[in-house]
Amino acid sequence: MVTAEEIARVALFADLEPVERNWLSQVVADITLVPGEFAVHEGDERALFGVLEGRLEVLRLVDGVASVIGERKPGDIFGEMSIAFGMLHPGGFRAAEPTRVFRIDLRDYQALVAAAPEVAEQVGLMANNRLAGPKGLQARSSAPVQFRAIVLGRRRDASCAELRRFLDRNQVPFRWLQPDVPADAEQWSDALPDEDDLPAVRVVNGKTVVRPQLRRVAELLDIPTEPAAAEYDTVIVGAGPAGLAAALYGASEGLRTIAIEREAPGGQAGTSSRIENYLGFPSGVSGEALASRSLQQARRLGAEILVTRSITRIDAATRRVHLDGGDVLRARTIILACGVAWRHLEIEGFDRLAGKGIFYGAARSEAANTHGLDIHIIGAGNSAGQAAMFFSSHARSVTILYRGDTLEKSMSQYLVEQLGTRANISVLYRTEVVAAQGDASLETIDVRNAATGATTRLASAALFIFIGADAETGWLPPEIALDPKGYVLTGPDVRAAGRWHLDRDPYLLETSVPGIFACGDVRFSPVKRVAAAVGEGSMAIAFVHQYLRESA
Ligand SMILES: Cc1cc2nc3c(=O)[nH]c(=O)nc-3n(C[C@H](O)[C@H](O)[C@H](O)COP(=O)(O)OP(=O)(O)OC[C@H]3O[C@@H](n4cnc5c(N)ncnc54)[C@H](O)[C@@H]3O)c2cc1C
């Protein structure tokens, strides 16, 4: 327990009346930290802290990278910004050596300042100084961004778009230079690579690589691509919302957990411009933000998450998991969280122009390519509506091309209403795209009106396609039962299909192979939602525990 005398050693409380210090000593939490342990994380709830012994580092995430921006020593306080400005903690506080602090919860702080208003005044002054002082957050946030990489490539080069998207989705701050923009070419400060060698990426203070494989880029930037161990309690296939949730819960509950992702964390949700219906985000959240927060959280809680690696084979009998590149992992359990992949359209010109103006799904990183231009969207589901809203703040016009005659059948009413508020969004009903043209990139599309049969050629700088997705499960072993469309059967559906052979019932998310589970969009179920994927990912871990207990 913290004594009244110890509390008096913190300058802010030195002049309190003894009765108030005694009261504080009854209510504060006494926290002992080992080096590396956090007293509070960035984004945690409001509370005020006093330092009694040791030293803490102040950490702040800037563009996904944690940097030390200050320290606190005995006698100091921290948390004053959260208290004074009514915000979550803008930074994390980590013990740099064995450290002891006390925490005053918000309610107790409010009771204290009712009796001692001068404390609130001082906390307010200190918070203002932290924000606006010469070393304050304001000064820091106006400091130039620390780029970790420089990308050199053309706007309409599909490989360059893929590279930029990869860096964005892995939260790597980078600068993009275009070789045909003279000022950019100068900034490259080296001979420009040959046209055939673009795109190129230079790691700041490091190597330059031309036409890089994404895995090579990940390696150069120290993004994990190699498993650290040969055996895991659970191996998770995919790091979309379901896989990230499973990784987070698995690691935080003490399981040796690895999630393996063939692209970048976030899955489909990472490509969503705005998720409006995820609990706890009253004004919606972009898929990228949700993915990046979840990734940080899962890694902080100890999950190993590899990117740019695919799982290519699973041996059902031995539960060996094969990665591309030849690594083989031993898994006590496996969680399939591999989601679905966009359905592709077989239309003249589409394959050739994919990534060069034609995109399946969309990412915020494409926004720069649509500024002031006329673009089109195929589809009439919520994802198409969200994309139209997002791009309408960048493009000159956004036209939704839809075969049906009313959006209300397939799109939520709130989105239909939002679309109606944007003057530069329009819908062409009973219309389908029949061809796309362009040399280096998309220039025009041919659209046919089903009512008149007439075909019209429209100028189009970009075409984003949202026509649904399919489970890509052809690579799974035949022992794992699928529905006719390739979705993985679990729980009661496995039994109903006559594919279960143990005496006990399969767990709700268990596939026809005991110890292999499925969650999220890849699972046979009518619900395809972020919240469902996250819920199932966390539930899968509960079943992993049950399975491991039973097979111990
Ligand atoms: C544009 C868009 C907007 C959306 N908007 C909303 C919304 O507003 N609200 C909502 O609730 N839902 C929304 N959704 C649906 C939501 O994103 C999905 O339901 C959710 O992402 C499913 O999560 P998942 O983890 O099951 O699968 P996914 O998100 O599909 O993730 C699966 C991951 O597994 C990886 N993977 C696949 N196979 C392998 C393999 N063999 N090896 C390694 N990795 C592999 C993939 O690369 C992918 O990253 C939207 C979807 C899209 C596309």
Q: What is the pLDDT of residues 398-439, one digit of tens each?
A: 999 999 999 999 999 999 999 999 999 999 999 999 999 998
Range with lowest mean pLDDT among 32-36, 158-162, 194-198, 430-434: 158-162
> What average pLDDT does the structure give for the chain?
91
Nearest CA to ligand 1 atom 12: 529
Residue 347 burial (CB count, 10 A): 17
Strand 149-152 relative to strand 174-177, pairing: parallel
Give the predicted TM-score (pTM) of the model. Answer: 0.79
CA dist., res. 472 & res. 361, Å (int) = 16
Q: Pick the residue with more confidence: 476 or 157?
A: 476
Q: Answer yes or no: is pLDDT of 350 > 90.
A: yes
Q: Which ligand 1 atom sits closest to the C-alpha of 523?
A: 26
CA dist., res. 294 & res. 291, Å (int) = 5
In this prediction, residues 333-339 reach a mean pLDDT of: 98
Closest CA to 429 of 412, 451, 413: 451
Residue 140's pLDDT is what? 61
Q: Answer yes or no: is pLDDT of 522 > 80.
A: yes
CA dist., res. 56 & res. 33, Å (int) = 10
Classify 59 as helix, strand or coil: strand
Q: Answer yes or no: is pLDDT of 185 > 90.
A: no
CA dist., res. 335 & res. 331, Å (int) = 10
Residue 63's pLDDT is what? 52
Range with lowest mean pLDDT among 113-127, 157-171, 241-255: 157-171
Peptide bond preceding 212 in cis form (omega within 30 of 0): no
Burial class from Cβ neighbours inside 10 Å (0-12, 13-18, 19+) for residue 38 reads middle
Q: How far is the CA of 539 from the centre of ligand 1 (A)?
A: 17
Q: How far is the CA of 521 from the centre of ligand 1 (A)?
A: 7
Element (H, E) at 52: strand 47-53
Q: How far is the CA of 48 from the centre of ligand 1 (A)?
A: 39
Q: How far is the CA of 520 from the centre of ligand 1 (A)?
A: 8
Q: Answer yes or no: is pLDDT of 146 > 80.
A: no
Instruction: Give residue ranges with CB within 6 A of ligand 1.
Output: 237-243, 260-263, 267-269, 271-272, 275-277, 310-311, 337-340, 361, 382-383, 386, 520-521, 528-531, 533
Query: Across 287-342, where does the E strand assignment appear?
Result: 304-306, 311-315, 320-323, 328-336, 340-342
Q: Which ligand 1 atom sits closest to the C-alpha of 341?
A: 30
CA dist., res. 66 & res. 131, Å (int) = 19
Q: How far is the CA of 329 from the centre of ligand 1 (A)?
A: 24
Q: Answer yes or no: is pLDDT of 271 > 90.
A: no
Where residue 136 falls among pLDDT bands split at 50, 70, 90? low
Where residue 506 falls among pLDDT bands split at 50, 70, 90? very high
Number of H helices, E strands in the chain: 16, 29
Residue 134's pLDDT is what? 65
Nearest CA to ligand 1 atom 6: 275
Residue 90's φ and ψ, nearest 5 degrees, are -75, -5
Where residue 189 falls among pLDDT bands split at 50, 70, 90? confident
Q: How far is the CA of 144 from the centre of ligand 1 (A)?
A: 34
Q: Which residue intervals of 400-518 are DSSP H helices? A: 413-420, 492-496
- If one residue of 169, 272, 410, 536 were mutated to test the ligand 1 pocket, choosing by the most ligand atoms within 8 A of its CB, it would be 272
